[in-house]
Amino acid sequence: WVNSLQDDYTISAWIITNDIDGGAQGIVMWGDSANYERRSLIIYNGGSGTDWTLTASTYGENPQGSTTLEENVLYHVALTVDKGTLAWKLYLDGVLDGSGTFSNALVAFTGTNLYIGKTAAGEYHEGFIDEVSIWNDNLSSAEISKIYNDGKACNLENHSKYSNLLSWWRMGEEM
């Protein structure tokens, strides 16, 4: 199904990061890390060494959210992308945390792996990830807010865009 995800998409997850240090930390990633084929939601400091934020990453572009993340805090994170306009939006706890436009087109790809908790380059998330969902739609602010559900994971089978839910990993753990 990952190969079929060539247009608009949304990534959503609940995370706790135990150690914000070092390089990037992958939350969800798929695609090749070349030729602008990568689609990912990561934690990254933009090379500064500080100010770790959510990042919407494609090959060569790493636009970041505005909130500095803290260790050992439960966050709901989401990224929406409109392939036609190249617009991206990052959400933190159901609230818009950053938005912009990619400068490079997102090209089609085939034959790829999906990673949860790391990037293809082996940049691991140091903490917990739960309730990962990938949608073949650019969800609205209100639809992201419904997933956030006032800080509690919810049953996505009841979501108004359930028919656009490509995959959902519940992980079976309460955070």
Distance CA 160, CA 132 (A): 17
- Per-residue pLDDT, 82: 92
What is the dihedral sign for C-alpha 141, 55, 22, 26?
Answer: positive
Distance CA 129, CA 127 (A): 7
Print pLDDT tens along the chain (175 aa).
Answer: 555 566 889 999 999 999 887 678 889 988 766 555 678 888 887 666 667 888 887 767 888 899 989 999 999 999 999 988 989 999 999 999 999 998 877 776 666 788 999 988 888 999 999 999 999 999 999 999 999 988 888 899 999 999 999 999 987 655 5
Overall residue count recorded for the chain in this entry: 175
Distance CA 56, CA 66 (A): 12
Specify whether the CB–CB gap between 159 and 166 falls below 8 A.
no
